[in-house]
Amino acid sequence: MLSVHKNSVLSSVTLEQAAVRQKELDFYTNNYWIWGGTTVIMAGFALAELTREIPQGTHPALECAYLGFTSICLSLDLCIVTWTVLVCTWGPGNALRGPDGMKSFHETIALLKEEQMPIYYAFVVSIVAYFGSSCCLLWVYPSDFVPNAAGTCVLILSFTVLVYMQCVLEQEVGVLGNSHDDDGRIKTFTALDDVADLDMCLSDQPGGT
């Protein structure tokens, strides 16, 4: 009976650590879902621009720039949607049912943290590409010079404000101003990561039921 109580203590400590790490798992998966949902909307806008018929006589350089920006935006958005769906589906599953217990939990969160920045950078580039596509769109369709120039200036001004706000937020709460090196893993409990599934171990033994 003493061994049962000892195992119960170990299990309760591991569950407490898992509760702390669950908050990190929720944080990262929520970030991925936000990116995925936002890029779905952007992909719809980019696809609508890509399917527009370009008027005859458009300058080849302008046509290439327009299609290039639009294709980059749509491609990155589709990649982000795919990555976020896979990560949000497989990540929590591996954390919950991983073969190595808490080790699988730790590895899952480490992977989510590592993959966060590439997706973030792809998201930023897709926004820049969408602004470029919108600027080119103003000049692709025949119109007066003054409205086109005014629209381009508004887009450039909006993009400048967006970049400024992005830099401010990065310095205050983003990766540039904060290292985010801390995590919820309790180093003192590292030895408990090797605690296996007792039921599985007993059932795998000869004569186990």
Segment 5-54, tens digit of pLDDT:
555 656 666 666 777 788 888 988 999 999 999 999 999 999 998 888 88
99 and 172, same domain (yes or no): no
Q: What percent of the chain has pLDDT over 90?
A: 31
Neighbours of 177 (CB within 10 A): 13
The pTM for the full model equals 0.76
State how far the Cα of 152 lies from the Cα of 134, in Å rounded to an integer: 9
* Residues 107/183, Cβ–Cβ less than 8 Å: no
Segment 126-184, tens digit of pLDDT:
999 999 999 998 888 877 888 888 888 999 999 899 888 888 887 777 665 455 566 65
56 and 155, same domain (yes or no): no
Neighbours of 131 (CB within 10 A): 17
State how far the Cα of 76 lies from the Cα of 11, in Å rounded to an integer: 43
State how far the Cα of 38 lies from the Cα of 126, in Å rounded to an integer: 11
So what's the pLDDT on residue 12? 66
106 and 165, same domain (yes or no): no
166 and 70, same domain (yes or no): no
Segment 67-100, tens digit of pLDDT:
999 999 999 999 999 999 999 989 888 888 877 7
123 and 35, same domain (yes or no): yes
- For 76-104, the three-class secondary structure string (H helix, E strand, C coil) is HHHHHHHHHHHHHHHHHHHHHHCCCCHHH
Instruction: Look up the domain containing 158 and give its range.
Output: 145-176
State how far the Cα of 99 lies from the Cα of 111, in Å rounded to an integer: 16
Q: Report how many helices (DSSP H) and strands (DSSP E) the chain contains, helices first.
A: 5, 0
54 and 103, same domain (yes or no): yes
Token readout for 1 is 């009976």
> Domain tally for the chain?
2
Token readout for 195 is 């605690």
44 and 74, same domain (yes or no): yes
Helices (H), 98-204: 102-140, 145-172, 198-204
Segment 96-125, tens digit of pLDDT:
887 777 778 888 888 898 888 899 999 999
95 and 113, same domain (yes or no): yes
67 and 152, same domain (yes or no): no
State how far the Cα of 22 lies from the Cα of 96, in Å rounded to an integer: 10
127 and 162, same domain (yes or no): no
73 and 164, same domain (yes or no): no
